[in-house]
Amino acid sequence: MIDRGLWISWYGLPENGRDAYLAWLHRKFMPRMLKKPGVLWAAHYAAQAQPMPAGGAPRLRHTDDPSVPAGNGYILIFGGKSAHAFAGLTPRKLDPELTPEDRKMIALRAGERVNIVTEEERTAGPAARRREHKYTLAPCIQLGSFNAGTADEDEILDWYASWRLPAMSKLPGCLGVRKLNSVSGWAKHAVLYEFESLAARDGHFPFHENARPEMAAWTDTLVRKLIHAPGSPNVATRLWPPVKAAAPKKKR
pLDDT at 244: 84
- pLDDT of 246 reads 63
Q: Which of the 8 DSSP states describes residue 140?
A: E
Cβ-contact 70, 25 below 8 angstroms: no
Question: 105 in helix, strand or coil?
Answer: helix
Dist CA 83 CA 198 (whole Å): 28
- The reported pLDDT for the residue numbered 55 is 55
Beta-sheet pairing, 189-195 with 174-184? antiparallel
Max distance between CA atoms of the chain, in angstroms, equals 60
For the structural domain made of 5-240, what CATH number should be given?
3.30.70.100
**CA 72 to each of CA 45, 113, 243: distance values in angstroms, whole numbers, following the listed order:** 10, 9, 21
Q: How many CB atoms lie within 10 A of CB 197?
A: 16
Domain limits, the chain: 5-240
Cβ atoms of 231 and 70 within 8 Å: the answer is yes
Nearby residues of 70 by Cβ (< 8 Å), 6 or more positions away: 111, 113, 230, 231
d(CA 232, CA 226): 11
CA distance linking residue 47 with residue 217, whole number of Å: 28
- pLDDT tens, residue order, the chain (252 aa): 689 999 999 999 999 999 999 999 999 999 999 999 999 999 999 999 887 665 556 789 999 999 999 999 999 999 999 999 999 888 888 999 999 999 999 999 999 999 999 999 999 999 999 999 999 999 999 999 999 999 999 999 999 999 999 999 999 999 999 999 999 999 999 999 999 999 999 999 999 999 999 999 999 999 999 999 999 999 999 999 999 876 555 555
